[in-house]
Each structure stands twice: as C-alpha cells, then as structure tokens.
Amino acid sequence: MKRFSGFLVKEFLHILRDRRTMLILFLIPIFQILIFGYVVKNEVKDAKIGIIDLSHDNVTEEITARLDAAVDFRVVREYQTYEEAEAGFRANEIKAVVVFADNFANDMGKYRKADVQILLDASDPNLANLINSYISVILNKYSAEVNKTGNSVIVSTEPRMWFNENLHSAYMFVPGTMALILMLITALMSSISIAREKETGTMEILLVSPLRPIQIILGKLTPYAVLSIVNVVSILVIGNVVFGVPVHGSWVLLLLVSFLFILLALSLGLLVSTLVKTQQTAMFISILGLMLPTMLLSGFIFPIENMPVILQYLSYIVPAKYFLIIIKSIMLKGLGLSYVINEVLILFGITLGLIALSVYKFKVRLE
Amino acid sequence: MNNENIIEVENLVKKFGDFTANDNLCFEVRKSEIFGFLGANGAGKTTAIKILCGLLFPTSGKVMVAGYDVYKERNKIRKNIGYMSQGFSLYEDLTVKENIEFYAGIYGLKRTEIKTRFDDLVSKLGIEELKDKFVSDLPLGWKQKIAFSVAIFHKPQIVFLDEPTSGVDPITRRQFWDLIYEAVESGITVFVTTHYLDEAEYCDRVCIMAEGRIDAIGSPDELKSKYKSENMDEVFVKIARGTNKMNNK
C-alpha cells in the first residue's frame, strides 16, 4: 500500500508540473463548454426576417407585428418584390421572408383559408429549419385565436417539444461535452502518460521493480479517474448555473454512471497504451479512434437516425452513444436506473471486456 | 547451485519469430565480480540482460538469478536486483530527491531508511546543491551517476547496467567506473554491457558476443594471452575475424 501511495504522489507531481497537461485537464473542459454554450448555438434569437405583403390589411399587419414582437425575430424590412427579397438574402440582410398573398384578410373571411409563404435562407439548413418551425408556431397560434372567435373548427397541429420545451441547445451539448471531455481526459491523457514511461524507458525500471503490473496500472490511472470526477461535477455545475441545464434525476446515479464511463475510457486509454510505443502515436490513436467517434457517431452533434445505415451500425460500438442516452434520461427526463438499465449493462460489459483485454495485453510484454 | 555463482545460465535460447537473438548461451557470474557483456550493437546483449531481469521470457534453457528461477520466481528475483537501462530512466520532471524517494518507495524501503541513505548519498556524491534540481536541468554525466545510485539504492545483490556509459565523455566514464568499483566493494555484483572495448579492461571477467552467440569468455588477461593480443581491441578484432572465416567456409 505504501508503495502504491508513493506511486500516486509521483503521478500527481507529473500532472501538476506539466503546464500542458494542466491546461488540457482544467481549462479545456471549461472553455469547451463555454464555447459550445455561446458560439455553437442551434437556437434562434433575434433572427432578421423580411416581409412581402401583397395585401396590406389588418390581418397581415397584425401577424407582422406579432412576428416582430417575438424574441426570436426582428422584422427588419419590407420588400415589394421577390427580386428585392432575393437581393436581401444575398446581402445577408435577412434569414427568412414571410410572404402574404393578395386579399389575405378577405380570403380568410371567405374561405377560412389564406396563403402564407415562408422563404428561407437554407445555406444554413439547421437554422432554416428552426426559423421555419418558429414562424409556423406564431402563425398557427394566430389562426387558432381567429378560429376561436369565428365559429368554425379547423384542426391544426401544434407540436410541442417535450423535455426541452424551448429547444435549448444547452440541453444537448452539456451531456455531449461531458462525454467528449471524459474521453479526452481519461483515455487520451492516460494513454499518453503510459506511453511517456515507455518512451523514456522508465516503464522498464518499473517492470523490473517488485511492483506488480496491476499496481503500475492502477497507479497510472487513479489520478485521472479522480480528476475526471472533478470535471464531471464542474461541467454539471457550469451547465446548470450558466446554461440552466437541469438535473431532474438522481445526482448519485448520474455520478455513478459517469464513473462507469470514466472506467471505460480509462481502460480504452490503457488498451491504446499497450498498442503504441510513443506518446505521439498514443495521441494520434486516441484522437482519431476515440474522440472523433465520440463527437460524430454518438448522437452528440448529428442525430444517429439521420446517418447512413452503415454509420448507424457503427454507432453501436461507440460507448458515448449509450452514455448520452443514459445521462440525458437522468438529467432531462428524471428517469431512474430501471429505465436505462440496458444501456448501463452494455457500458458495464464493454468496460469489463476492455479491462480484461488491456490488462492481459499489458502483461504480455513478456514475449 | 554453487554458492560462488550468483547467475547461472545454461543453453539459453531466445527467438523472436525466425530470428535467434540469443543462441545457446552458457555462462555464470560469480558473486561480487564485475561481469562484462561485450559485443557490437545487435549482438544480443540487451536481449540477454532483459531475460536476466525478468523483462523477457527465454524460449528455452535454464536461467537462475540470485538463486531463483526466471520462469517461476520472477517476483523474488525483482527484489534482489537493480537495473539501469540505456536511457538512464529518471523522471525528468521530478527533482533528484523525488526520483530517489519514488524508486526507494517502490522497493518498499522505510521512510527513515530512505532519509539516512539519501543523506549518505548526497554527501558521498557531493550533490547538496543538485538534490532539489529537476533532473531535466542536470548534465548528462550527473544523470548517469544518479541513475546508477538509484539502481543500487535498495542494496540489491546484483545490478544490471545496460550500456550505462553510452554517450558520455571519457572523464565522466572514468568517474562512473569509480562508482561501480565502490558498489562492488560493498558486495554488489555488477553485470554490465558495453561496446566500449577499453571498458572491458575494468571488468573481472568478460564475455564477447556476436550474432547471438558467445565467442569467448574469461578475464581480460586470459583473453589477451589466449588471442596473443596487447589489448581488448585486438582480442575483439581477432575474434571477429575468426567468426567471419567460419562464416565464409
């Protein structure tokens, strides 16, 4: 035990003394979450829109006023023709144009139906989609009100976004960033740190010493496990305080599941370190093989349902996918363990398999 | 096992796939001697030393180190040996003191014991000013001497030195050998590999390796008279020629 504590002291000294490591461990998580929070936004706020109003009656003006009043939009200009509007798109004055047809109010009175066209700048498709649905919401709301006063009943759909009523992107990126950062810190940093011992030859000295391989492995990995827990807590706190991402479910369960994911990432890091001889290859493999899939194939940024089938199958072996399902369920839906037990068991299985494989590979240094 | 012999190797073979790194080695190392392993790069020295340290398993043959079998009793061997690899293997981002405390710690030395031995070492080497410096700031010669001191800090029976003097200047090499003599006087057996032939003269007995085989073994004087040579350089050249002749036949 005393041998082991000496080992831990040494590992912490390595981490604390290396400015680059400290940077990656503590600044990057905070930066990453703030950047994702403030820059990579999927929500609409103050989007500039234009109007083409061929009718100019009390109804169209009322709707225009409502669009302008919504926090999501600002009606910046009225165009007379489509050509003008197109020029407006090209000049980047506006993201969308709402077109009211001729005789709008009359049509509404007569046929209980009037035409609105929405033109969208789809060079940013996500944004276009969002603006489209936001405008539709306002239009639907208006027509619903009109319907109440008039006697006829028109069935209109009213989508509501549950668990993330206002489509806050923070709800998506906080869990995603957590998965990414845990991969980064635990797998990447631990594989680099073991590869460093190999590169400098100190690993040989450790292997010649009376330390058992399992002690060496635990000694190398424990500090990163501890620091990762610190990061989990700080990401959740920043997510909650700065971006208002709630934790509806159990904190204990959330932390336990995160710890399981940390163990998984550590065993991946260990596995990588058994495959490589230098820090650079360790970094290369960790970033390409672990971080990119975590970012792209886990459902963090791109919905898995929209991927080509082959990538969908590939996503089954990306542990972050299950982790995201679990923590989103706990945080946003407030679900308990029984609802995510399958995903938890999958993570658990992967972890056990990886630990067994990497410990075996670590021992097989004896050829 | 003969009490005089601290290492006994019989018919040691080590193969990596088709390549035979150690071809039927037989030798023994006596207690408290300096045993030199000579040979060009790629002769199989490092492979042999790794087997003796328990870093590699032999393909076949009998290998006993400090009275223990390398197949079955590696844990016992580890407590009784020290090892210094080619790269000096100190942690560059730790101070001299931290390095020594760490290595002493993993060998299970008690804190008070570490302190006494460390103070002795500091005064012996005269490194009062260096002890709190980072290893990365030390000159190569000091790194090497400290790496050696680390390797024998836990007072092992045998210390294995793998090309300890590669890359350092002749004066530092000489100083380094003084440390080795001192260790031998305290009862430690030294097993050293080198490709500097002048260093062979410092050894009690040497073993010359080429292409995975042992070509000659004996004290430097024995070898010099056997091969009718002035110095180890000549011995080495004559042995190398002999090997070539055999290959040409």
The CA radius of gyration of chain A, in Å to the nearest whole number, is: 27
Q: How far is B240 from chain A (nearest CA, A)?
A: 30
| A339, amino acid identity | Y
**Residue B98: per-residue pLDDT:** 94
Residue A164 burial (10 A CB sphere; 0-12, 13-18, 19+): middle
**Residue A120 within any structural domain of the chain:** yes
Which ranges in A39-156 belong to alpha helices (H)?
58-69, 82-90, 104-111, 125-149
pLDDT at B152 over 90: yes
**Residue B230 token pair:** 């002035």
Q: In chain B, pLDDT over 90 holds for what percent of residues?
A: 58
Instruction: Judge contact between A224 and A194, C-beta under 8 A.
Output: no
**Residue A158 within any structural domain of the chain:** no
For residues A341 and A204, membership in a common domain is answered with yes
**Residue B146: per-residue pLDDT:** 92
Characterize A287-312 residue by residue with b for buried, 16 or more Cβ atoms within 10 angstroms of its Cβ, and e for exposed. eeebbebbbbbbbbeeebeebeeeee
List the one residue out of A83, A126, A119 whose CA is nearest residue A98. Answer: A119
Q: In chain B, pLDDT over 70 holds for what percent of residues?
A: 96
- Sorted by sequence, the CB contacts under 8 Å of residue B13 that are 6+ apart come out as B20, B22, B23, B24, B25, B58, B59, B60, B61
What is the value of pTM for the model shown?
Answer: 0.77
For residues A134 and A217, membership in a common domain is answered with no
For residues A140 and A187, membership in a common domain is answered with no
CA pair distance A284, A205, nearest whole angstrom: 26
> Measured between CB atoms, which of A10, A204, A366 is closest to B89?
A204
Positive or negative torsion for Cα B146, B151, B156, B159: negative
Strands B19-30 and B5-16, by their bridges, are antiparallel
For residues A256 and A325, membership in a common domain is answered with yes
For chain A, say whether B125 makes contact (Cβ under 8 Å).
no
Last residue of a domain, one of A86, A121, A149: A149
List the one residue out of B151, B137, B155 whose CA is nearest residue B85. Answer: B151
User: What residues in A contact B89, CB-CB < 8 Å?
Assistant: 200-202, 204-205
Instruction: Judge contact between B65 and B158, C-beta under 8 A.
Output: yes
**Residue A162 within any structural domain of the chain:** no
List the one residue out of B207, B52, B229, B108 whose CA is nearest residue A7. Answer: B108
pLDDT digits (tens, 9 = 90+) for A119-158: 888 777 777 777 888 888 888 888 777 766 654 444 445 5
A18-22: long-range contacts, CB 8 A cutoff, minimum separation 24: A18/B93, A21/A189
Last residue of a domain, one of A119, A149, A179: A149
**Residue A156: per-residue pLDDT:** 47
Positive or negative torsion for Cα A18, A24, A30, A34: positive
- For the question of an ipTM over 0.90, the answer is no
Q: In chain A, which residue's Cα lies nearest the Cα of B108?
A: A3
- CA dist A212 → A216, A228, A362, B75 (Å): 7, 25, 11, 8
Indicate the helix (H) or strand (E) that contains B16.
Answer: strand B5-16
CA pair distance B203, B180, nearest whole angstrom: 10
Put simply, the answer to whether B85 touches A204 (Cβ < 8 Å) is yes
CA pair distance A273, A276, nearest whole angstrom: 5
Measured from the Cβ of residue A66, the count of other Cβ atoms closer than 10 Å reads 15
**Residue A161: per-residue pLDDT:** 56
Put simply, the answer to whether A205 touches B94 (Cβ < 8 Å) is no
**Residue B154: per-residue pLDDT:** 93
For residues A193 and A114, membership in a common domain is answered with no
CA pair distance B40, B195, nearest whole angstrom: 6
Mean pLDDT of B121-147: 91
- Sorted by sequence, the CB contacts under 8 Å of residue B155 that are 6+ apart come out as B186, B188
**Residue A163 within any structural domain of the chain:** no
Mean pLDDT of B17-27: 91
For residues A184 and A314, membership in a common domain is answered with yes
For chain A, say whether B78 makes contact (Cβ under 8 Å).
yes
> What's the domain count of chain A?
2
Q: Which residues of A touch B (CB under 8 A)?
A: 2-3, 6-7, 9-10, 13-14, 17-18, 200-202, 204-212, 365-367
For chain A, say whether B118 makes contact (Cβ under 8 Å).
no
Put simply, the answer to whether B107 touches A7 (Cβ < 8 Å) is no
Q: Which of A194, A205, A209, A363 to mutate to test binding with chain B, by most B CBs within 10 Å of its CB?
A: A205
For residues A354 and A228, membership in a common domain is answered with yes
Using 50 as the pLDDT threshold, list the residues of chain A that sit under it: 151-156, 366-367
**Residue B112: per-residue pLDDT:** 93
Which domain covers residue A104, as residue numbers? Answer: 47-149
Binning chain A into helix, strand and coil, the percentages to the nearest 5 are 70, 5, 25
CA pair distance B165, B192, nearest whole angstrom: 10
**Residue A157 within any structural domain of the chain:** no
**Residue A313 within any structural domain of the chain:** yes
Residue A214 burial (10 A CB sphere; 0-12, 13-18, 19+): exposed
For residues A34 and A53, membership in a common domain is answered with no
For residues A250 and A348, membership in a common domain is answered with yes
| A139, amino acid identity | L
Task: Catalogue the E-assigned strands of chain A.
Answer: 47-53, 73-79, 96-100, 116-120
Last residue of a domain, one of A114, A149, A184: A149
User: B96-106 and B111-125 helices cross at what angle (nearest 10)?
Assistant: 140
What CATH architecture does domain B5-248 belong to?
3-Layer(aba) Sandwich (3.40)
pLDDT digits (tens, 9 = 90+) for B124-134: 998 999 999 99
Q: Which of B15, B49, B91, B101 to mutate to test binding with chain A, by most A CBs within 10 Å of its CB?
A: B91
For residues A94 and A230, membership in a common domain is answered with no
Mean pLDDT of B86-92: 84
Residue A321 burial (10 A CB sphere; 0-12, 13-18, 19+): buried
For residues A187 and A327, membership in a common domain is answered with yes
Put simply, the answer to whether A202 touches B78 (Cβ < 8 Å) is no
- Sorted by sequence, the CB contacts under 8 Å of residue A321 that are 6+ apart come out as A297, A298, A299, A304, A315
pLDDT digits (tens, 9 = 90+) for B179-203: 999 999 999 999 999 888 888 889 9
CATH number assigned to the domain comprising residue A107: 3.40.1710.10
- Sorted by sequence, the CB contacts under 8 Å of residue A30 that are 6+ apart come out as A234, A238
